[in-house]
Structure 1
Amino acid sequence: MKVHSSIFLIFLLVTGLSPSCQEASKGPSGQIISRDTTISTKSAFSTLFIDSSYLEHFLADRQVIDTGRQLYRNFYNQRNFSLAWFDSSGIAEQANLFWNLQANYIAFSGDSSIYNPFLQQWADSVGVYGARAIPDSLRSRIELELTGQFFRYAAKAYMGNLKLNSADLGWFIPRRKVDILALLDSVSNNKGKDIKHLEPVNRQYGLLREALNRYYEIEKQGAWDHLATTQKKITIGDTGQAVLQLKRRLFLSGDLGKMDSVPLFDTALAAAVRKFQYRYGLREDGIVGGATLQEINRPINYRIRQILVNMERLRWVPDEPATDYLLVNIPEYRLHVYEKGRNLVFNMNVVVGSTTHHSVIFTGNLKNIVFSPYWYVPPGILQKEVLPGIKRNKNYLSSHNMEWNGGNVRQKPGPKNSLGLVKFLFPNSYNIYLHDTPSKSLFNESKRDFSHGCIRVAEPKKLAAWLLRDEKSWTSEKIDAAMHKGSETWVTIKQELPVFIGYFTAWVDRQGNLNFREDIYGHDKIMMEKMFR
C-alpha cells in the first residue's frame, strides 16, 4: 500500500495536477462543493455508498496535498458519497471501459507514468473471474484508487504533459481547461456509455491517433526501408533496386495503391511520388531527389514521435470557437478561414517569419483593416538596415519611399510599401499582424519563411472582402479604391474574430491524408527531447 501511495503522491507533486485542476475542483462561487444530501439509495446511480470518514483516512494515509483532497471531496460530496465504480453486481461496467481506455492511451502514447500495478492486478482478476472478483473488504479502497487514477489519466490524456511548459516551447496560446470533475461525473452517471466521445480533445486529435496506430503497425512489419541510392534524382524510366525500395516505401505509406515487383519507375510510381510530395508540402514534380529523398528516408520512429508531439500540442489548444475564425499554421505556410466553427471557407498561402525571426505562436482578436497603410519601421530593422543605409546613401529614404516621423522612420502608402496595400490588425504585444506584400513571387515557393515575423497573405483583397461581406457599402470596387487610395483608411469590423497562429507539423486533412511538414523553427526537436528523454 505504501509503495502505491508514494506513486500517487509523486504524481500530484511532480505533474502539477493541483494548480491545473484548481478551477475544476471548486463550485460556482469558488468554494468547496457542499454535500448533496438529497441523493439517497433511491435516487443514486449506485445503491452502494462509502463512509466519509474512510475517505478522510485514505487521504491522510497517502498524504494527498490540499488540492488533490479537494478534488476527491468535491466529487464525492456532489454525489453524497455514492460509489462511482461499483454497483450491486460488483465492479461496474464504466470501470472496465475506463481501464481499457487508459490501456489504449498508454499503448499509443508510450507513456507508462500513470501505470498503476495495484489496480492492474485487480483489473486482471476481474478479467478472469468477473465483476465480483473484488472482495467487499477491498471495495472502498479500490473505489478511491480508481477515482484517483481517473484524475491522473485525465490530467495526462486531456490536458497534456504538465511538465512541459508550453511557453518555454514558444507556445503562447493559453492552454485549454478541462473540468475533470464534470467529466468523471459524466463517465460514472452514464455508466461509461460512449466514453470515447467524452474525450475533451478535438476531432483532429482522434484522426492523428488513428494514423499513429497505422504507423505502429507499419513499424511492426519492420520494412520501412532506407532508400539506398547514389543517384541525385530518381525519375520516370529509371530502373534498379532503389526503384523497388521506393515502391515498397510508398506502398506502406499509402501513396502507391498497388505493389509490384517490376524494378521500373513508371507513371503510376510518379503519381505516387506526387501524392507523397503533396502530403509533405513539397514541389509536386514526381521526381525523387533533394528534399523529397530526405523526407522519404526519415525513419518511421521519427514520424511516430512527430505524430505524438502534435497530439500533445492538440491537448493544449482551446476548444474550437463556434464563431468565424482564422488559423495560420506556420509550418504549412497556409491561412485557413473558418465560418461558424468548422465550416472551412477557403485557404491561402502565406509567408511566415524566417528561422532567425520566428512568427510567434499566439492568439488574438482581429479588430481592424487598414487600407493603404503606412509601415512604421520596427526599431530592430531601423538600427540594422535603415540607419546604415542612410549612412551609405543620403537619398536612401526617398528611394525607399520613406520619411522621418518624429524620431522614427515610416514608409509611405503605395504599391511598393513593405506591407503592400492592406494590413489586418489583431492587437498583441508581439507586434505581429497579417498584411499584403509587393513581393508576390515568394508565394510560389514551396518553403515560405522569409518575413521578419509578421504573416504575409497571398490574397489580401479576398480576405478583406470576406471580413467585410456583411457590410453592404464595402463593394469590391470600394475595397479596390481604398487599397490604391495612397492614404490610410482604417475600418473597424463589426464583430471581432479570433486569429490563431499555430505550429503543427503533422495533421490529417479533410481528404483523410496524413500530412507532415518540416520543423522549421526546431520546436518539434525540443519537444521530442523533453517527451522521449
Structure 2
Amino acid sequence: MKNFTLSILLLLFSFSNAHAYQTKSKTAASKTTVATKIPSSRNTVKIDNVIIYKFLTQYPKLKTYRNDLLSLYKNRSYTSIWLKGGRVIEFADLLYSKTTELEQEGLNSKFAYKDKVDNIFSQQLKKIPATTNNELLLSSMYIFYAKKVYKGIDSDKIKEIGWFLPQKNLSYSSLLTTLLDDPQALNKDEKLLFDQYYKLRDVLQKYREIERNGTWNFIKRDSLIREYKPGDTAKTIGQIRQRLAVTGDLLQDSKSDVYDEELIKGVLNYKKRNGYNQDPVVNFSQINRMNVPIAQYIKTILVNMERCRWIAPELTKAPEYIIVNIPSYKLFYKRDGITELESNVFVGGTMNETVIFSGDIKYLVFSPYWNIPTSIVQSEIKTAMQTDKNYLSSNDMEWNNGNVRQKPGPKNPLGKVKFIFPNSNDIYLHGTPSKDLFDSEYRAYSHGCINVNKSEELAFLILKNDPDWPAERIRSAMDGGKETTCFLKNKLPVHMGYFTSWVNDAGEVSFFHDIYERDDRLAELLYSDEVK
C-alpha cells in the first residue's frame, strides 16, 4: 500500500513539473515574439534566409543586395549587427551621417529607402522597435555606402571602358569588422582606399569652395596679342595673376597688371603642375585652358576619385614598383615609398592606345633587336621598300620570310634597353635614340609601347643591388651591339594607369588632357548609377 501511494505521488509531481515547463515555454515564446516589436533592454534580432527574402519582397529596390546580405549575416551567425538594447549602436550613427553626406565623397547617390532610415534615426531619443526590417534596412544602408565609396561602379562596366588594372576583392563582412573595430577608418584609412583618393577628396572640397565663392573669373584676352611674357603690361595679366592666386600658384594677388618676377614664379608653378614646358610665356592655348569652367575641373576630380576606388591599396605597397600615368606622359620608379626616378615618356597614340593594365617585369634586354610588328611591316616597311630597294640595309634591318627585325645600334628605335613584362598586348618599356622628342608637350605618338626618356638610368636603378650586374657590365651590355638578356632575381611590378587629375605629396593638383577621351564616358556611367 505504501509503495502504491508513493507511486501516485511521484506521478502527480512529474505531471505538475511538465505542466509548469510547458507554461513557462509558452510564456517565453510569447515574450520573444513581442520583443521584435516593442522596446526592451534585452531586445535581440535573429536573421535567417526566409526573413531576408521577405524583407526584399517588401523592399524590392534592394534585391540586388540579396547575396551580400546573406553573406553578411552568415559570417555573423545570423545575429543582430545594428540593434542592441532597443537602440542602434554608436557606429550606425556615424555611418548614417556619412551616408547622408556622400557629396563629400564626390557622389550624389541616394539610398533607395532613405526616408525609412531617416525615421529610424529620428527616434534615437527614444528606444526604437528592434524589428528585422529595421535591422536589415541598416545593413542595406551599410552595403549601399560600401559599394559606392569603397568599390565603385560594376566591374564589368569598368572593363568595358578599357580598365584592366587588378581590382580589389572587397568583402563587406571583413570591411565591416574593420570599421566596427575602428570607426574613424570611415574618415580615412589608406588600407581601405588608394591614398590618392583622399588627396583628391581634399582638393574637391577646395574647388567646391572656389565655385561657391565665385572667384573663378573668366580671363579676357586681347585678340591682337598672341602671348604674354615678362615685362608686359595688360589687364589680361592682372586677370591671370588673380587666377593663379585662387589656385594657390601665387601666395597673394597684388592686383598688378605688370608681368613681374612674382608672376613668373606663379606661371612656372602652374605650368609644372599641368604638364607644360617650363618657360614663362603665356599663350592663347594656355589661357583657354585656364578658362575651362571650374565645374569641368570638379567633374574631372570626381571621375578620378572613382578610378581610385577600383585600385587595391596594396597595389602600391610593394617594396619597389613602376607606375606610368598615361595622360601625364610620366613614369615613376618607386622604392620603399620614395620616388627614385621620374621620367618623361611617350605613350600610344589615339589609334594605338596604351592598354591600362598591370604586369611584372621579369627581364631586361640590352642592345635589343626590334622585331617589327606585322602591322607596321604591312603598313610602313613594305611601302618604303617599294620606293627604295636599299631601305632595309640602310636602316640596319633584316628580312626573313616576311618578318623584319632591326639590328641593335643607334638607329634602333628601342634604344639601348627594353624592359619585358610578358602580356597579351605585347607592350613593354624601352629606350629611344630620339631624345629631343621628349621636349614636346604632346607625347602620344607610339604604337602602344612606352618610350622612356631615362631608360638607361632606370636600368641602373633596377639592378643597383644585383652583384651580378655592376655598373660596368650594364654599360658594356648597353654599348656592345650584341643582344644580351638580364633576368631579374625578383620580378618588378609595373602599372599602366590613367589619371587626368593627380595630387602630389605637397597637395598640389595637376590636370592633364584626356588624350583617349575616357572621362566623359566614365562620368556617364558614374552619374547613371547615382540613385540606387
TM-score (norm 2): 0.85
**Which of 270, 273, 277 is 1:279 aligned to?**
273
Indicate the residue corresponding to 1:493 in structure 2: 488
Q: Does 1:176 align with 2:168?
A: yes
Say if 1:48 and 1:83, in contact at 8 Å, map to a contact too.
Answer: no
Q: Quick one: distance in 1 between partners of 2:73 and 2:186?
A: 20
* Residue of structure 2 equivalent to 1:196: 187
Kindly state the Cα deviation for residue 348 of structure 1 after the two structures are TM-superposed: 1.5
Partner of 1:396: 391
| Alignment-derived partner of residue 290 in structure 2 | 296
Q: Say if 1:281 and 1:446, in contact at 8 Å, map to a contact too.
A: yes
How do 1:17-28 and structure 2 match up within 5 A?
none
- Distance in 1, matches of 2:65 and 2:476, equals 61
Provide the residue aligned with 2:54 in structure 1. Answer: 57
CA distance in 2, matches of 1:344, 1:119: 49
What do residues 280-323 of structure 1 show as CA deviations (whole Å, max 9, x unaligned)?
A: 01122222213321221111011000001111111112232433
**Post-superposition CA distance 1:130-153 (Å, at most 9, x none):** x334532x6432221010111111
Report what 2:311 is aligned to: 317
1:152 match: 144
Task: State the match for 2:323 in structure 1.
Answer: 327
Tell me the residue number matched to 2:3: none
Task: Provide the rounded CA distance (Å) in 1 between the counterparts of 2:111 and 2:63.
Answer: 20
Residue deviations 1:195-240, cap 9 Å, x none? Answer: 3235721111001000001100000012211111123212333334
The SS at the match of 1:486 is coil
| Structure of greater relative contact order (alpha carbons < 8 Å, 6+ residues apart) | 2
Structure 1: runs of 5+ lacking an equivalent: 1-45
C-alpha distance 413-113 of structure 1, shift in aligned 2 (>3 A): same
Q: Please say if residues 357 and 452 of structure 1, whose CA atoms lie closer than 8 Å, have aligned partners that are also in contact.
A: yes
The residue identity in structure 1 corresponding to 2:118 is: Q
CA shift at 1:395, angstroms?
A: 0.3
Equivalent residue, structure 1, for 2:118: 121
In structure 2, C-alpha distance between the alignment counterparts of 1:517 and 1:441, rounded to whole Å: 22
- SS state at 2:324 partner: strand
Aligned mate of 1:87, from 69, 76, 84: 84
Secondary structure class of the residue paired with 1:197:
coil
Q: After the TM superposition, which residues 27-426 of structure 1 pair with which residues of structure 2 at under 5 Å, given as runs?
A: 48-52=43-47, 54-62=51-59, 68-88=65-85, 90-114=87-111, 116-122=113-119, 125-126=122-123, 131-133=124-126, 135-136=128-129, 139-162=131-154, 165-190=157-182, 192-198=183-189, 200-230=192-222, 231-319=225-313, 320=315, 321-340=317-336, 342-426=337-421
Q: Taking structure 1 as reference, are residues 124 and 436 closer, same or farther at Cα in structure 2, changes over 3 Å only?
A: same
Q: Distance in 2 between matches of 1:298 and 1:516?
A: 11
Per-residue deviation, 1:109: 2.0
Q: Structure 1 residues 245, 133: closer, same or farther in 2, change over 3 A?
A: farther
Tell me the secondary structure at the aligned position of residue 301 of structure 1: helix
Between the two proteins, what is the percent identity of the paired residues? 36
2:455 corresponds, among 454, 460, 464, to 460
- 8 Å CA contact retained: 1:227, 1:242: yes
Amino acid at match of 1:469: K
- What's the TM-score once normalised by structure 1's chain length? 0.85
Offset, 1:492: 1.1
Quote the offset at 1:161 in angstroms. 1.7
Q: Tell me how far 1:104 sits from its aligned partner.
A: 2.8
SS of alignment partner, residue 352 of structure 1: strand
1:438-517 → structure 2 map (5 Å cutoff): 438-517=433-512
Q: CA RMSD in A?
A: 2.3
CA distance in 1, matches of 2:128, 2:526: 39
The DSSP-based 3-state class of the residue aligned with 1:106 is helix
